[in-house]
Amino acid sequence: MVQTFLQPLPHGIALSCRAAGERGRPVLLFLHGFPEGAFVWDYFLDHFSQAQHGGYRCIAPNLRGFERSSAPPHASAYRPKHLVQDIAALIALETAGQGDTLAALVAHDWGGAVAWNLANQLPHLAQRLMIVNSPHPGTFLRELQNNPAQQAASAYMNFLIRPDAERLLAQDNYRRLWNFFSAPGQTAGPSWLTQAVKDQYRAVWRFGLTGGCNLYRASPLRPPTQDDPAAAAVSLPDAMLTVQLPTLVVWGMDDIALPPVLLDGLGHFVRDLTLRTIDHATHWVLHEQPALVTRYLQDFLLQHP
């Protein structure tokens, strides 16, 4: 059973968390994206906490600015270094007495941006890294700088940094946010977006959308415009991009915003890489194919004890 709690951290931030499994067991930590919340991992928390699937302690925090987690008002508080600090502090609390390291860090979308950074900067905090449809910053920067198709696919980011983005997203019962989940021209939402799932999303969004928008405002990794060089002005050395942890990347191949070209060259940055692709799955593969994603995660855990 998934439990919820508010976890204060030593540096003054509190993260609302969802968890399953007994404390003291090896820990899997799951990070969500935008416009999601920690609830998107409930299926996975339940699965991996069961004895026959490893009996892990599974925890999924809401990132700062989401749901009941602390929501600093200024965009600068959402820079990657602050997000990494939050997760590192949570890891320290959850893994005390277990070698201070996760069995694995699992992440999707914006959670993956945090996870890639943590794996580069603090690799001792996790034994393995598992990423679902979240671009490595090295390949993402390359495509944002050089690929007009990626620039067009990521153009929504420049909408989300507008000062009125939160108000516009909330209009008409979150009409624009529901459209995030649909393919262009699709009149009905995807089959997984049931009323019950919509209620879960609304339960996150009603706490506010500023935190999510501030993730985009705080990051220069977005398409350049006439008024903002954005990614065009960024240069990242390999030392800030290399990941030495055994890493699984699972990718829904019909992701419109993050197309498979982002997988090209990934091996340059990730030295121990396992790649699993899922045809006919989109960015929302956690909803579309939870059992298959779970199987890939489970297999990776067994193959990298």
Query: What does the alpha-carbon distance between residue 258 and residue 117 come to, in Å, rounded to a whole number?
Result: 18
Residue 146 reports pLDDT greater than 80: yes
pLDDT grade, residue 248 (50/70/90)?
A: very high
| Residue 166 · residue 209 · CB < 8 Å | yes
pLDDT grade, residue 4 (50/70/90)?
A: very high
Supply the pLDDT for residue 98: 85
Residue 153 reports pLDDT greater than 80: yes
Quote the percentage of the chain above a pLDDT of 70.
99
Residue 56 reports pLDDT greater than 80: yes
| Rounded to 5°, angle at Cα 260 from 37 and 108 | 15
Residue 147 reports pLDDT greater than 70: yes
Cβ-Cβ contacts under 8 Å for 183 (sequence gap 6 or more): 256, 282
**Average pLDDT over all residues of the chain:** 96
- When pLDDT is averaged across residues 22-39 and rounded to a whole number, the result is 97
Supply the pLDDT for residue 3: 97
Supply the pLDDT for residue 185: 65
Supply the pLDDT for residue 299: 97
- When pLDDT is averaged across residues 88-110 and rounded to a whole number, the result is 96
- When pLDDT is averaged across residues 122-139 and rounded to a whole number, the result is 98
Supply the pLDDT for residue 304: 75
Query: What does the alpha-carbon distance between residue 5 and residue 131 come to, in Å, rounded to a whole number?
Result: 25
Residue 303 reports pLDDT greater than 90: no
Q: What is the pLDDT of residues 215-227, one digit of tens each?
A: 999 999 999 999 9
Domain residues for the domain of 266 are 3-303
Residue 197 reports pLDDT greater than 70: yes
Residue 9 reports pLDDT greater than 90: yes
- When pLDDT is averaged across residues 277-285 and rounded to a whole number, the result is 97
- When pLDDT is averaged across residues 265-292 and rounded to a whole number, the result is 97
Residue 304 burial (CB < 10 Å; 0-12/13-18/19+)? middle
pTM passes above 0.95: yes
Residue 29 reports pLDDT greater than 80: yes
Domain count, the chain: 1
- What CATH number corresponds to the domain at position 292? 3.40.50.1820
Q: What is the pLDDT of residues 156-195, one digit of tens each?
A: 999 999 999 999 999 999 999 999 998 776 667 899 999 9
pLDDT grade, residue 305 (50/70/90)?
A: low
- When pLDDT is averaged across residues 114-124 and rounded to a whole number, the result is 98
Supply the pLDDT for residue 188: 72
